[in-house]
Amino acid sequence: MIRIMSDVWINAFAVASERVLCPGSALFHRGDPVRDLFLVREGRVILRRALEDGGSLDLHTAGPGDVVALASLFSETTHCDAICETEVRVASRPVGAIHAWLGASPAAAALAQAAREVQGLRARIEVMRLRRLSDRLDAYLDLHGAPDAGGWVGVADWIGVSSPALYRELGRRRGLG
């Protein structure tokens, strides 16, 4: 997170309650309603998305001074699991309190857009780190679903492969049933 943004969030959590979680504990799970926003005071929290094939995709690791799943501030439900990699001390504030702290300003709208963009970029980076095209495609489909007609060229670009390579993979999948 950009240093100045981190400092701003530390101020937003100055009056927050805190709790400690053990390694392996979940701060929240995919699909949980978003009630609180969390700031890591100590330790590391991994944002992990389970994939259909049984694998997982690590979207981000939040460390001290980082807000966990910032984009969830503007969502109804969480889109991944937040798993404590180490012992973690987090501060939490209700989403409503954070919204009030931000106010109904253009800055809040800009923050929401920036948070969504960062979340999308992190996801894309993690997908592109996968070695096999089939794994990249599975991860994309899990995150975004199948594209509309004519959209596969954009999928190829998003996952960092050529269109012909993607079409070969799609053809292979059709052949498997």
Q: Could you state, in order of their start, the residue ranges of all structural domains in the chain?
A: 3-128, 131-176
The per-residue pLDDT for range 107-126, each reduced to its tens digit, is 666 776 777 787 788 788 88
Which CATH number does 3-128 carry? 2.60.120.10
Model pTM above 0.75? no
The per-residue pLDDT for range 115-158, each reduced to its tens digit, is 778 778 878 888 888 889 999 999 899 888 999 988 999 999 99
Q: How far apart are CA 27 and CA 24, in angstroms?
A: 10
Q: How far apart are CA 89 and CA 39, in angstroms?
A: 9
Q: Could you tell me how many residues make up the chain? A: 177
Measured over the CA atoms of residue 1, residue 115, residue 30 and residue 141, the dihedral's sign is: negative
Lowest model confidence (mean pLDDT) among 4-13, 47-56, 76-85, 166-175: 4-13
Q: Which has the higher per-residue pLDDT, 129 or 94?
A: 94
Q: How far apart are CA 90 and CA 52, in angstroms?
A: 30
Report the interhelical angle of 133-144 vs 163-176 (nearest 10°). 80
